[in-house]
Amino acid sequence: MKIVLASTYGFCFGVKRAIKIAEENPGSKTYGPLIHNKDEINRLQEGFNIGLANGLDDVKDNDSVVIRTHGIPKKELEALKSQETTIIDATCPYVTTPQKIVQHMSEKGYSIVIFGDKNHPEIKGVVSYAKNLKDAFIVLDEQELEALPLKSKVAVVAQTTRKPEDFLKITSALILKHKEVRIFNTICNATFENQDAASDLAQKADVMIVIGGKHSSNTKQLHSICKHKCNDSYLIENEQELSQEWFNNKALCGISAGASTPDWIVQNVIDKIRTLTQL
């Protein structure tokens, strides 16, 4: 069986930057999981003594605290700054952009619409920058817009890992109903590229393996895209989740990986697939 990697996959700029920051600050704590990949987090814990603070109560005086790639709510960041701690900000620059936009546009009196998952840490951080939280709304589709008490002036941003075509549906619906709509495309370029590459490969593959954290938004999006093009598409976190039966009577196995998936995990998966298909 032939194994083919997507033309682009794996670590994005923001994740590479965050991991480098963590490695350069051994003994520090990350505020929330640094990235959505438990195997890589374990590597940082074991190799660099990187701890984990799940909230303010886990942060002590004189701690060095690394802010996660997804960012954190504004009030929590301000609380950390008020303590005797050293703060090292590893928030992805593509995430700080919508934070700044939300703050600026809400100060100018716009209603804020955020396309994304309200339970995702990135979105929890972004919405917290609104001047008035009553004028900031998080939606997952255009139908949710209908019940919102929006002003005539609306500013809209997107979670960095969302599908562009879904963002377009929301912006189109807003344009039809509101006097002024300011659209800020905050979807990350790496997301575009990985999704397009995965889609292209899935069309040719007999079986598609998507590697990444089960809680990773961009990885789940990749899997959804692949599943649409190749029904035998599977989302795994590491090689231990592979099943030999997935590869029976398959000629081409495609592989993609989420933005929080390191190359060493991808290689482990490739090696395991080769072992399974040679048995």
User: Among 116, 111, 170, 168, which residue's Cα sits nearest to residue 146?
Assistant: 170
Q: What is the C-alpha separation between 76 and 58, in angstroms, rounded?
A: 12
> Given the structure tokens 């976190």, which residue do they identify?
237
State the amino acid at position 206 in one-letter form: D
The residues with which 156 forms a beta bridge, in sequence order, are 113, 183
Q: What is the C-alpha separation between 212 and 235, in angstroms, rounded?
A: 7
Taking a C-beta distance cutoff of 8 angstroms, is the pair 215, 259 a contact? no
Taking a C-beta distance cutoff of 8 angstroms, is the pair 6, 254 a contact? yes
Q: What is the C-alpha separation between 138 and 119, in angstroms, rounded?
A: 10
Taking a C-beta distance cutoff of 8 angstroms, is the pair 111, 150 a contact? yes
- Active-site position among 40, 122, 237, 239: 122
Q: What is the C-alpha separation between 103 and 106, in angstroms, rounded?
A: 5
Determine whether 122 is an active site residue.
yes
Torsions phi, psi for 203 (to 5 deg): -65, -25
Residues labelled as active-site residues: 122
